[in-house]
Structure formats: C-alpha cells, structure tokens
Amino acid sequence: MAQVDLVVRGALWQGREVDLLVAKGKILECLPYDESREFSSKRQLEGFGLRLFPSFIDAHVHLREPGFEYKENVASGLKAAAHSGFGAVLAMANTQPVNDSATVTELMLDRAKQHWPKGPRVHPVGALTKGLQGKELAPLMELAEAGCAAFSNDGLPVASTELFRRGMEYASDLGRLVIDHCEDPSLAVEGVMNESELSGHMGLVGVPTVSESIQVARDILLAGYLNKPIHLAHIGSRESVELIAWAKEKGIPVTAETCPHYLLLTEDAVKEYDANAKMNPPLRREDDVEAVRQGLRTGVLDILVTDHAPHARHEKETCFADAPNGITGLDTAVALTWSLVEQGVLDESRFIEAWCFGPGKIFNLPVNSFQPGDPADFFLFDEEEAWEVSASTLHSKGKNSPWLGKMLHGRVRAHCIAGKTVV
Amino acid sequence: MERDTRFIWQHKDLLDVDQLSRKETLHILDSATYFKEINTRAVKKVPTLKGRSVVLFFAEPSTRTKTSFDIAAKRLSADTFALAKTGSSLQKGESLKDTALTLQAMNPDAIVIRHNRSGAAKFLSERLSCAIINAGDGRHAHPTQALLDCFTLREHWKEFRGRTLCILGDIAHSRVARSNVKLLCSLGVKIRLCAPSTLLPPGVENWPVKVYHDLSQAVRGVDAVMCLRLQLERQQAGLLPDLREYASRYCLCSEHLDKAKPGVKILHPGPMNRGVEIASSLADHDDSLILDQVAAGVAVRMAVLFLFLTRSKEA
C-alpha cells in the first residue's frame, strides 16, 4: 500500500460513513468505514458524527484589499473562508485601486500566498472596464495572464450594451467568463431597498425588480445572439429566474448564482431601518424567495455564492439610505444553506453541487469529488453545533450581518486543502 | 375643558402617529386645546417645563416647524438650543451617531429632530435615552404636522367620522401625506389622494384611500382639500413635464371648490408655491385654514413637549 499521509475516519459522505485516505495532497481512496481497518498514517482525523464535504468555492466575494483594509483584507477574508469550508474564493475587482491591472491582481495573489500559503486560494476577478467606469475595456489579457479567473464590473454594471457585448466577445477569446451584476442603473437611481408597498411606507427610494430582470433579459439575448457564455450574479427576483429558465430551455449559454440571503430573507428584514440587511440587489418579497428557492432546486440557478461584502461597523451605523450596500457572508453561508437542506428545501446533492462542483465547472477550477487523484480539499462539518452570530464568532472583519444575535446550527470542525490542515 | 391629569403617558419618543392609540391622539388634541388658550393671553408663558432643556436639531432647512417648536418650548418655560446643519460639526462630516451622542452628553430632556433621511429619528431613539421628537424624517413621517392638521380640522368639524379629505399633489415625496393618511384614517376620515401616477408612492393601491388622477373628480363632495408643495426638482427628475402643465392639471382653483361641499376647508402645510399647487386667491380665501394650521402648530407642539417631558419614567 502506498504511503498514506492523512486518514479521516468515520465521517459521513453521501449518506454513508467512510474512511478517507490522503497521500501527497491527493485523494488516495475513499472507502466504506471499517472499524477493524488499521492505518499507519501519521495524521488521523476523527470524523465520527461529522459530515464530510469537498471544499466549497465561493465565486463572489469582496476582500477589500487593496484600499479598504479597515473593512477586510485578504488575510482576514481568507480566515473567514478557511473556517467556513471554502477552499477557494473569487474576489471582485472593486478595490482601491480597482483590479484592472496585473499589479493589483498580483498583489492580491501575493497577500494570499503570504498569509494563507496552504490555502484557501484566491482567484481574482478582473474589472471588465478600466476603473469599473464602464467606458473602455480593461486590459483583459494582461489580467487573465496575471491570474484573473473571470471578469466583472460587479457593483457598477456596464450601462452601454455595446461595450458590454464587446467585453463578452473579448473575454471569451481568453477563455474567461464575464460575470454581470444585473441592474439597469437608470432604474435603480438612488434606490436603497426593494420598491414595494413597504418602501412606500418607509419613505425609502425603491429599486424595482425590473431593474434586475431587464438587464438579465439583455444579457440573455446577447449571449444567445453571440453564442458566448455569460454568468449572472446574485439573482434575487422571480422574473429573473423565469427568464433564465427560458434561456436555458433555448440552450443559451447562461449560468447564474444566488446567495443565502435571497433564499432566507425578505424585504421585511429592513423594516426597522436595519442597515445590516441593506444590500444590492435588495431583499425582495416572499414570492421572489419562493422562485429563487425553486430555481436553485431545479438548477435554473446553478450555484450559491455569498456576495461577502464586509463593511466597518461605523459605516453601517448611520441612516439607512447613507449606509453602504452589502453584508458579511462567508462565516454564515454554510450553516444558513445547510438549514435549507434540513428543512427539505434543498437536497444534499444540490447543496454540494451549488457550492462546489457547479462553480468548479463554470469557472474551470479543480474540485474534489473524492475520487482517487482528486485534490484533497475537504472539510468536516458538525451540523449539530449551535453558535450565535456575533462580533466574536465571525472570523471576517466585517460584522455586518442581518443574522447578528441569531443562533445558527452547523460549524466547520476541520478543513484540509491539498491534504494540509488549514483549520 | 378639563385636562385628564391622570393620563399616564407611555411613550419615550414620538416617531410617527401610528404608535399612538386613538385615545392618546385625542389626549394630545385635548391638551393642545388647553395650551392654545395660553397663546391668546397677554403673558404667553407658563412655568410648566421650567428648567427643562430641548435641543432643536434641524439638519434640514426649516422655518415654520423649527420656530413653532421653539415658541412652544419657550411658552412652557423650557430652554431651547438650536443646532443647524450649516455651521455645525455635521457639516464637517461628523456622523449622525456622534452628533447625537455629543448632544446626549449635554443631557437635554428632549431632542427635536428634522433630517432629510427616512428613519433618522428612529436611529436616534435607539441610541439616546432622552425623548426624541420627530419633526420630519425624509419622506417617512411628520407626526406633529399630522396632529396639528387634525387639530385644525377638529376645530371646524367636531366629529371626524363621515368627513372626506382630499390630499392633492406630490404624495410620493411627502412625509406630511404619509402621517396624515395614517392619523386621519384611524380617526375615521375618508381620504382621497390626487396626483399623477409619477407622484404616488409604490403600493398606494393597498393604502386605505381612494386614488384620483383627475382633480375635478377628486374634489367632488369633499369636506377639505390639503394641497402639498411641489418641489421644483421633480421636473428635472422626469416626474412631470413642466410646472405649467402640472398647474393646469393639479392647481387647486375656485372652480374646483364649487364641486366640493359648501364651506370646504383648504389646508397647506407650507411653504406654498402660489399658482402651482394652489391658486393665490384660495390661499387667502375665507375657508383657507393655512394660518390656523400655523397657530395650531404651536399649541400641538406645546402639548407634545408637555406630555413627553413630564412622562413618568416608571410608567
């Protein structure tokens, strides 16, 4: 028998207890658990009563470095990722300076290597346009060569359909996907929450659902016309889900993501002007939540992401309209979405696909399916462990969670990347 | 009228009218009736709130509301301290939280706040122990305006039930409209809203009101019309073509009054754009209550300050 570096005993994978054997950073074998089996491995992890998952990929995070290190930096963001079962994250480009040059991309990669040499890995997402200004394409080849896994103008969507089209075409030559934050900027002007009866009562400017779905329709039609792929970010409204379902039926190369909060919260979360529930796109209504859940179940929405958007406490502690958009998401993501599995909203295999195999396939990243030779990226998850969301339990610098003070179930007990323990 | 001195005031803050029970609303109005009398005396001052201090924190321009609160507090012998956005640390970029904590440290009994952000008064109320009186937050609420409008109408109506009020103009951006709809509906007044769709809030179809886009129809048989100020920037925002067209459709004129009930009352929270939302002749009309509203404002704010500043903390 080959040299075994690490053994995980008795953890639950796909409904059965297994013994996982790791050698040289790769999966050697994943065998049904056998009490009598003996190992000579130096390292052994007890997995009894715990679930075994392949490391997840979060294809949409904001790590804030360079420029906004007081909110988060690569080190603290990766700490949250590591402790939450994420072996890789795709980091958006709205840093300061914007990630529209190899210099910034390399800085992000260097920081990751310096602070988390064993992983989690960062895959920067390059800006689609220079300075995210929506006027000229960023040097996409330079960015791809420096290590960008995709391109996006996330947060500052490209208003010009012509420029966006050219971006899709140019990016596809490089084998990179464009991720679009779908929002018609003119329809979302000054909006701070979902446009609805509630926004009318609260006296807050609303963002209508059509500001998202109109852009979703634009992107779908472009992707169909050009026959170039497009990935749609953080989908949260019924119309968008229906449009994507239509596109997929037509065979248009579109993929899409949603976030835990669009599956679990409605606009009611902002009723008390709680800026920790303010994000863009905003939380919608019950009917949208139902459509998003259905979309995720059926694969119309391919993957889950956090849209991890840490902010400093003082930035959120202001009038609702003045607070920045976004919630911290890495730390709470797995526990929140696992609750959907427990409630029967999502089955376990879709859960794993949406967090791991799906993003791996879409962004062409290696994943572990526990087959011999796969990267030994996995974590042990204690679904029973109850914990309170609080400033001290969140590893991210960002404490801006709408779940602050709430009890969640499920925490990561151990996390290995390429066979090496990171947590 | 005798004041019910046994009434136990429960609330720390006045954020909007929907926190008030019908009984509490009527208690404020009754108290205001009592305080109104003081305003007609030669010596318009009583020692009720002597030694109490009220901060007037107006982060948005205001003349009448600020003056009204100031006079109300002074007639009750409270000391007032004004803080405006210009010339204050807010202009230097101090956060609302820090400004609030600074004010709190000076230990006032109440902070009257006017702010251009919806939810600003609530934001302060969650952080400060003194009474927070909302003098208008963004588009959200303006409770003392609604109370004074109620007070003004009650002086003419005696009974709210069976009455119909038409609110005319820019409802979407109006905190006055929002608070008035809540308060008057709860008192049994039938409300009509009249505006182009571009100036109505989302979800208005679910409000307990009737919506009109035609002014002649909206005023038919009403007991009162409340005109709202049209902000001139609505044109730039693309919500209406121009003031001329707006005025031709939505300016309240004498011909409209013929369709309403005889003796129909006219209200306007001010400041007015004569010839835009209200014909100049109507502003000065015998049935115009616009100046009564201003007078009622002082009495109602005296009642509010009195109740919130003499609240038993144990209650």
**Spatial CA neighbour of A301 closest among A60, A19, A35, A45:** A60
The whole-number pLDDT of residue B4 equals 55
Nearest CA in chain B to A201: B140
Amino acid code (one letter) for B58: F
**Spatial CA neighbour of A85 closest among A65, A128, A56, A116:** A56
- Domain ranges in chain B are 17-142+295-309, 143-294
Judging contacts by C-beta atoms under 8 Å, the chain A residues touching residue B138 are 203-204, 321
Q: Do domains B17-142+295-309 and B143-294 have the same CATH topology?
A: yes
d(CA B108, CA B99): 13
pLDDT, tens digit (0-9, with 9 covering 90-100), for A114-137: 999 999 999 999 999 999 999 999
Enumerate domains of chain A plus CATH numbers.
4-51+373-395+407-421 (2.30.40.10), 54-362 (3.20.20.140)
The whole-number pLDDT of residue A188 equals 81
Q: How would you classify the pairing of strands B53-58 and A303-304?
A: unpaired
Judging contacts by C-beta atoms under 8 Å, the chain B residues touching residue A206 are 202
Choosing among 3.40.50.1370, 3.65.10.10, 3.40.718.10, 1.10.1740.10, the CATH entry for B143-294 is: 3.40.50.1370
Torsion, CA B286, CA B292, CA B294, CA B298, rounded to 10: 170
Q: Which one has a higher pLDDT value, B158 or A62? A: A62
Mean pLDDT of B29-40: 95
pLDDT, tens digit (0-9, with 9 covering 90-100), for A103-114: 999 999 999 999
d(CA A22, CA A14): 18
The whole-number pLDDT of residue A304 equals 98
Torsion, CA A389, CA A392, CA A397, CA A401, rounded to 10: 20
d(CA A396, CA A404): 13
Q: How would you classify the pairing of strands A26-32 and A16-23?
A: antiparallel
The whole-number pLDDT of residue A389 equals 98
Q: If pLDDT is split at 50, 70 and 90, which confidence band does A184 have?
A: very high
Mean pLDDT of A268-288: 98
Q: Tell me, yes or no, if B44 comes closer than 8 A to chain A by beta carbon.
A: no
Of A5, A307, A331, A377, the active-site residue reads A307
> What pTM was computed for the model?
0.95
At A122, list the tokens: 């960062």
d(CA B257, CA B260): 5
Is A322 in Cβ contact with B117 (below 8 Å)? Answer: yes
pLDDT, tens digit (0-9, with 9 covering 90-100), for B87-117: 666 667 788 999 889 989 999 999 999 999 9
Class of domain B17-142+295-309: alpha beta
The whole-number pLDDT of residue B158 equals 82
Per-window interface: B 176-195 vs A, CB < 8 A? 178
pLDDT, tens digit (0-9, with 9 covering 90-100), for B126-150: 999 999 999 999 999 999 999 999 9
Is B203 in Cβ contact with A199 (below 8 Å)? Answer: yes
Q: Which one has a higher pLDDT value, B62 or A76? A: A76
At B167, list the tokens: 């609110």
The whole-number pLDDT of residue B312 equals 72
For an interface test with B, which of A192, A284, A319, A320 has the most B Cβ atoms less than 10 Å from its Cβ? A319
Q: Tell me, yes or no, if A187 comes closer than 8 A to chain B by beta carbon.
A: no
Q: If pLDDT is split at 50, 70 and 90, which confidence band does A189 have?
A: confident
d(CA B226, CA B169): 9
Is A320 in Cβ contact with B119 (below 8 Å)? Answer: yes
The answer to whether residue A76 scores a pLDDT higher than 90 is yes
The whole-number pLDDT of residue A38 equals 87
Provide the mean pLDDT of chain A: 97
Q: What percent of chain B has pLDDT over 70?
A: 95
Amino acid code (one letter) for A27: I
Close Cβ partners of A75 (under 8 Å, ≥ 6 residues apart): A111, A114, A115, A116
Close Cβ partners of A338 (under 8 Å, ≥ 6 residues apart): A351, A381, A383, A409, A410
The whole-number pLDDT of residue B313 equals 66
Is B95 in Cβ contact with A314 (below 8 Å)? Answer: yes
The whole-number pLDDT of residue B6 equals 63
Angstroms from A321 CA to nearest CA on chain B? 7
pLDDT, tens digit (0-9, with 9 covering 90-100), for A319-355: 999 999 999 999 999 999 999 999 999 999 999 999 9
pLDDT, tens digit (0-9, with 9 covering 90-100), for B288-310: 999 999 999 999 999 999 999 99
Of B120, B122, B204, the CB nearest to A200: B204
Do B32 and B42 form a contact (C-beta atoms < 8 A)? no
Angstroms from A274 CA to nearest CA on chain B? 9
Q: If pLDDT is split at 50, 70 and 90, which confidence band does B84 have?
A: confident
pLDDT, tens digit (0-9, with 9 covering 90-100), for B170-199: 999 999 999 999 999 999 999 999 999 999
The whole-number pLDDT of residue B1 equals 45
The whole-number pLDDT of residue B7 equals 76
A382 is catalytic: no
Cross-strand partners of A127: A152
Mean pLDDT of B251-280: 96
Cα B307 to the chain's mean position, in Å?
A: 17
Mean pLDDT of A74-81: 98
Of A206, A272, A318, the CB nearest to B95: A318
Q: Annotate A22-60 with b (16+ C-beta within 10 A) or e (fewer).
A: bbebbbbbbeebeeeeeeebeeebebeebbbbbbbbbbb
The answer to whether residue A41 scores a pLDDT higher than 90 is no
The whole-number pLDDT of residue B315 equals 41
**Spatial CA neighbour of B36 closest among B300, B314, B225, B217:** B300
